[in-house]
Amino acid sequence: MAAVFARITGKVQGVSYRASAQEQAQSLGLAGWVRNTSEGAVELLASGPDDAVAALLDWCRQGPGGARVESVETRAPEEPELKDLPESFDVRR
């Protein structure tokens, strides 16, 4: 099992990035969440099988049609983030 926190920058708001990321994550059987930031980025936390997490990160580098991803920065999640991990994959406001 793997867990990753990612921050995606570029044109990633107003292009259905969160809903599309949720769809991808759910199809891969991942738990976690995705949200917009006030700086115009998208953040997500995903947990599940290593290959599924890797597949989601690959998708994040492209995003949905209309998105222009500039960067995907990843790090290991911090303990408080993992304690708040939902069983499904949610879109947060």
What's the total number of domains in the chain? 1
Distance linking the first and last C-alpha atoms of the chain: 27
Give 10-59 pLDDT, tens digit per residue.
999 999 999 999 999 999 999 999 999 999 999 999 999 999 999 999 99
Is 21 among the domain residues? yes
Residues taking part in catalysis: 18, 36
CATH code at position 39: 3.30.70.100
HSE of 41, CA atoms in CB hemisphere, 13 A: 11
Confidence of residue 89 (pLDDT cuts 50, 70, 90): very high
Q: pTM of the entire structure? A: 0.94
Is residue 54 assigned to a domain?
Answer: yes
